[in-house]
A and B are shown apart, each in its own frame.
Chain A
Amino acid sequence: MKTTLILTSALCSLGLAAHAQNKEVNVVSWGGAYEKSQVEAYNKPFAEQTGIKVNMLAADNPATPLKAQVEAGNITGDVFDIEVSDAIRLCDEGALLQIDPAILPAAADGTPATDDFIPGALQECAVANIFWGTVIAFDSTKFPEDGKPSTAADFFDTAKFPGKRGLPKNPKRTLYLALIADGVAPDQIYEVLSTPEGVDRAFAKLDTIKQDVVWWEAGAQPVQLLADGEVVMATGYNGRFFDAMVGEGKPFEIIWDGQYMDMDMFAIPKGSPNPEAALEYLKFATAPEQLANQAKYIAYGPARKSSAALVGLFQDGKTEMAPHMPTSEEHMKTAIMDDPEFWADHSAELAERFNGWLSKN
């Protein structure tokens, strides 16, 4: 009797071990340099430490396949890297697993995760991994040394700083800039935007440069437009500009005025094929060291306070990353935080208004 018990438990544990070895987790992210940074900083050490295989899949916006998979009832992804507004919306719609912040690893000094994450980085169903900024960059060869643009208002001043501007073709990352340039304080943006007069004001400001704007849609475009000399100033994602400046030696400069801060979060859909492995991955990836390590590969800020001190050099071995982080204290002074609730309410309406405005000549 006793031997049978021992034998069965031994067999069971063998089976469990074998099971653990076959585990895998499917992560859906955004592709490009960002995905590469996640592979280096999260996936490789995770696979090494746990033996769980990580399959990385790329999507234009992972929230779209996530919604499609949930609606079709055929979920193939385990972890999705999505924006905050999508995380909140999908969570409210019951598509995501709730994540208890208590299970997340604490900081090295013992600070619990709930205090260590930057406010807003922990949502009911999602945990942030990076902060990224939409910033203004300009081609420094196009302006004299003593006459370079330095504020968001300069972006709209085509008399003083002649040349075309590059802007994204969506309301979320244009209206705020118009209001900042029009003199609205960063923390007042959403208050102003939630009134019809405020929206009119933003569009009126955009009207002043409408004829000088080249609209872009993909994140690689503003960098290309600047490099081609098609525009002299453009807004774009700070990581992309950093790549062009440090990685490719382009003569660009970033204006850290009125940067728009967004978060990317990890979420697990209800009914994912490997929920335990997914949760393991989420816990591992959002630990302080991993988040800090990611900054070695891309200029996006870690979502934890304790990671900031761990941020070191770029992968070229000489560029100090801390001053390039959108989350650095200096840059946060004039930053606008994304308001996911506002956009969940108004994105469709403002997108229609924006497109209507665009199609008018």
Chain B
Amino acid sequence: MANALDPHAAIVATAGGLDEGGTLRTADGQPLARALARSSRRARRRAFLLVLPLLLFILITFVVPIGQMLQRSVKNDGFSANMPQLSAWFHENPRGTEPDEAAWAALAADLSAAAQSRTIGVVGTRVNYDMPGTRSLFTSAGRKARGGIEPPYREAVLEMDAKWGDPKLWSVMREASSPYTSNFYLASVDRTRDDQGNIVSAPAQQQIYVKLFLRTFWLSLIITCTTFLLGFPVAHLLATLPTRKSNLLMILVLLPFWTSLLVRTTAWIVLLQQQGVVNDILVWLGVIGNDGRLQMIFNRTGTIIAMTHILLPFMILPLYSVMRTINPSYVRAARSLGATSWTAFRRIYFPQTLPGLGAGALLVFILAVGYYITPALVGGASGQLISNMIAMHMTQTLNWSMAAALAALLLGGVLILYWVYDRLVGIDNLKLG
């Protein structure tokens, strides 16, 4: 290492010195490698401590809740925790075993225990998710079983309600006897299990989620395109106008951005409804007759119009910030070399706006996919998105596992898109400002 021919070693030798062993040392005699490691460790620790609050914040407000949501989408121990004996019987006996007297005894014992501890509702609710109409079977059986059930158990339980003999019910109970289940994900993609536990398509009338997922992504794509078509010229104008004028224009972009979402949505209702401002003007101008008023809201059109307006600033602002930094002399150089203005735009200007476009498109698309309040108010029947179904399961049916499964699929869809975007454009090319 200590080679006179190595100029680097020579410099180090004069600055810090080498010991007999040939180890590099600092001025105070510490081995250089260790001193370096220590100082860089200190710097790393300081950096870590500085980001620690943010890290904790992200952990507490994002990672933990999302983790809990993911867990809830597969875990529902409403049945297994409150029907221990029957669950045990299911684990001991493989699928296809006819329920014997031991199984009926376990069912009877669990029913009366669950009724006494007032958990029978949880059990019934869990089974009802997979087999609608059975919740009351459990609660009414629980009411009757509170005092205990006399053997022979099979006859006693069947006497309460003949529905207990339904093989479908036993198949569903077997499914529910494990705390972890994929059924909520199956339901989210319009699948269900038949009596034998095979995965089959849900009945035609019950198939809605796949369609709604596709609609959500399709509408979000349309909204991303319309914000781009409307936002690009505005961002260009903002970036090229003299500062005084562009500041004024900028306020026009920011003012709606700062206005409450609900106010903007209801404003669109006032404008677009059949007795609204736009229709009134069209009738007044004689473009349409009074009976031919256009239906522009409470449908898909309304959702697209209102959401385009609401998400427009998220497209304009990143585009603008990137366009500001583009040197106009490139375009001028292209023109002076004989390019037409279209060629100059297409080959010189537009490619330089791509980082801003990527950021804007990703922002608008991801926001649109999760949008809830605007489609709920102006979407009518055909403009609803998957977020409205998640809200329904959260607040109306109180089936949070189902809401979690739908939300997890939505999250997965967005992550896949993000990955595709990274592959196609490169996430490094993303520029927000």
Decide if A352 touches B206 in the complex (CB within 8 Å): yes
A residues within 8 A CB of B205?
353, 356-357
Complex: A92 Cα to B325 Cα, angstroms: 64
A67 to B393, CA, bound (A): 13
- Decide yes or no whether B132 CB sits under 8 A from chain A: yes
A359 at the interface (CB under 8 A from B): yes
Among A63, A92, A170, A348: residue with most chain B CB under 10 A: A92
Q: Is the CB of A359 within 8 A of B212?
A: yes
B396 at interface, CB cutoff 8 A: yes
Interface 9-mer from B121-129, B146-154, B363-371: B121-129
With A228-B273, A355-B392 known as contacts, the answer to whether A344 contacts B135 (CB < 8 A) is: yes
Write out the residue numbers on chain B whose beta carbons fall within 8 Å of the beta carbon of A247: none
A248: Cβ under 8 A from any B Cβ: no
Residue numbers in B under 8 Å from A348 (CB-CB):
128-129, 132, 397, 399, 402
Contact check, A356 vs B208: say whether CB atoms are below 8 A apart: yes
- Kindly supply a per-residue 1/0 record for chain A positions 282-309, scoring 1 wherever the CB is within 8 Å of any chain B CB and 0 otherwise: 0000000000000000000000000000
Q: Which residue of B lies closest to A224 (CB)?
A: B269
Q: Contacts A215-B381, A229-B275, A352-B208 known; A345 to B135 CB distance under 8 Å?
A: yes
The answer to whether A361 and B382 touch across the interface, beta carbons within 8 angstroms, is yes
Closest Cβ of chain B: how far from A324's Cβ, in Å? Answer: 28
Q: Which of A61, A228, A353 contacts B395 (CB 8 A)?
A: A61
Q: Contact between A64 and B135 (Cβ–Cβ < 8 Å)?
A: no
From B139, B389, B395, A355 is in contact (CB under 8 Å) with: B389
Give the contacting residue for A359; candidates B208, B275, B398; CB below 8 A. Answer: B208
Residue of B nearest to A218 (CB): B377
B40 within 8 A of A: no
Which single member of B133, B211, B381, B402 contacts A346 (CB below 8 Å)?
Answer: B133
Asked if B273 and A230 make an inter-chain contact with CB atoms under 8 angstroms apart, the answer reads: yes
Interface contact A356-B117, CB-CB below 8 Å: no
B134 within 8 A of A: yes
Is A214 within 8 A of B122, CB to CB? no
In the bound complex, residues from chain B placing their C-beta under 8 Å from that of A194 are 133
Known: A60-B395, A229-B275, A348-B399. Is A215-B129 also a contact (CB below 8 A)? Answer: no
List residues of chain A with CB within 8 A of the CB of B298: 214-215
Which residue in chain B gives the minimum CB-CB distance to A124? B118
Q: Could you say which residues of chain A place their CB within 8 Å of the CB of B275? A: 228-230
The answer to whether A217 has its CB under 8 Å from any CB of chain B is: yes
Chain B nearest CB, measured from A355 CB (Å): 5
B278 at interface by CB-CB < 8 Å: no
> How far, in angstroms, from A353 to B133 measured CA to CA in the complex?
14
Contacts of A63 in B (CB 8 A): 398
Contact yes or no, A359 B122, CB < 8 A: no
Name the CB-closest residue of A to B120.
A92
A92 partner, pick from B124, B215, B397, beta carbons under 8 A: B124
Residues of A within 8 A of B133 (CB): 194, 345-346, 349
Q: A89: CB under 8 A from chain B?
A: yes
**Contact for A349 among B132, B215, B402, CB less than 8 A:** B132
Name A's interface SS: helix
Is A135 in the interface zone, CB < 8 Å from B? no
Within 8 A of B (CB), among A45-65: 60-61, 63-64
- Interface digits, B334-365 against A, CB 8 Å rule (1 contact, 0 not)? 00000000000000000000000000000000
Number of A-B contacts (CB under 8 A): 105
Whether B389 pairs with A89 at a CB distance below 8 angstroms is: no
B119 proximal to A (CB < 8 A):
yes
A25 to chain B, nearest CB (A): 24
A336 interfacial contact with B, CB 8 Å: no
Sorting the interface of chain B by its residue count into under 10, 10 to 19, 20 to 34 or 35 or more gives 35 or more
Residues from chain B with a CB closer than 8 A to the CB of A91 are: 118, 121
Count of chain A residues with Cβ under 8 Å from any Cβ of B? 40
B203: min CB distance to chain A, Å: 9
Given A67-B398, A344-B135, A345-B136, is A215 in contact with B206 using a C-beta cutoff of 8 Å? no
Within 8 A of B (CB), among A335-361: 341, 344-349, 351-353, 355-359, 361
A94 located at the interface, meaning its Cβ lies under 8 Å from any Cβ of chain B in the complex: yes
Which residue from chain A places its CB closest to the CB of B396 in the assembled complex? A351
B274 within 8 A of A: yes
Q: Is A240 an interface residue (CB 8 A)?
A: no
Is the beta-carbon distance between A341 and B381 smaller than 8 angstroms? no
Cβ contacts under 8 Å, B129 to chain A: 348
B273 and A93 form a contact (CB under 8 A)? no
In whole angstroms, what is the CA distance A357 to B205 when docked? 7
A230 contacts B121, CB within 8 Å?
no
Residues of chain B within 8 A (CB-CB) of A89 are: 121, 125, 398
With both chains docked as a complex, state the minimum distance between the C-beta of A27 and any C-beta of chain B, in angstroms.
20
A-contacting residues, B276-334, CB 8 Å: 276, 298
- Assess whether B132 is in contact with A358, with CB atoms less than 8 Å apart: no
For A221, the closest partner residue in chain B by CB is B377
- In the complex, which residues of chain B have a beta carbon less than 8 angstroms from the beta carbon of A165? none
With an 8 A cutoff between CB atoms, is B394 at the interface?
A: yes
Interchain CB contact under 8 A, B395 and A359: no
Q: Are A93 and B125 in contact (CB under 8 A)?
A: yes
Separation of A313 and B122 alpha carbons in the complex (Å)? 44
Known: A230-B275, A359-B382. A94 touches B208 (CB 8 A): no
Cα A43 to Cα B129 in complex, Å, equals 39
What is the CA–CA distance of A194 and B136 in the complex, to the nearest angstrom? 13
Question: Do B121 and A351 have beta carbons less than 8 Å apart?
Answer: no
Contact B139 A92 (CB under 8 A): yes
Q: Is A355 touching B208 in the complex (CB atoms < 8 A)?
A: yes
Task: Compute how far the CA of A163 lies from the CA of B66 in the bound complex, rounded to whole angstroms.
Answer: 46
Write out, one digit per residue, whether chain B residues 61-99 have a CB within 8 A of any chain A CB (1) or not (0).
Answer: 000000000000000000000000000000000000000
Cβ contacts A74-107/B at 8 Å (1 or 0 each): 0000000000001001111110000000000000
Within 372-420 of B, Cβ neighbours of A (below 8 Å) are at 376-377, 380-382, 384, 389, 392, 394-399, 402
Q: How far is the CA of A359 from the CA of B303 in the complex (A)?
A: 14
A residues contacting B by CB (< 8 A) are 60-61, 63-64, 67, 86, 89-94, 164, 169-170, 194, 210, 213-215, 217, 228-230, 341, 344-349, 351-353, 355-359, 361
25 pairs, A vs B, C-beta closer than 8 Å: A61-B396, A67-B398, A89-B121, A89-B398, A92-B121, A93-B119, A93-B121, A94-B119, A169-B381, A213-B381, A214-B380, A229-B274, A344-B135, A345-B128, A345-B135, A345-B136, A347-B397, A348-B399, A349-B133, A352-B206, A355-B389, A358-B381, A359-B211, A359-B212, A359-B382
